[in-house]
Structure 1
Amino acid sequence: MQKKKLVEHRISLSIMLCGSMKIICFLNYLSAILFLVCFPHLKTLSGPGQ
């Protein structure tokens, strides 16, 4: 009975870890996209006279 609880706890823990890793990866992905989208605009804004 005790072992079953431990296994369930480890499974839920691994699911939580996987979820948090997915969130971190998603945030990194989003920031990379935002950077790629904003960077050319920043360049054009900083040097409109060129």
Structure 2
Amino acid sequence: MEIDPKAIVGALLLAALGVLATGPGLWSEKWGWGWLRRKDERGERER
């Protein structure tokens, strides 16, 4: 079974559109940047 490149691009575009529709700022505050900040804080405490 061959994977259609158009299907891959379409899926990526739909995922990006979903993130943009829900608000990239909101998404990054809840999951992205907060997760990275907590990870950095844990790393500093462990040292």
TM-score (norm 1): 0.44
User: Which has the higher Rg, Structure 1 or Structure 2?
Assistant: 1
Asked which structure has the greater RCO (Cα within 8 Å, sep 6+), the reply is 2
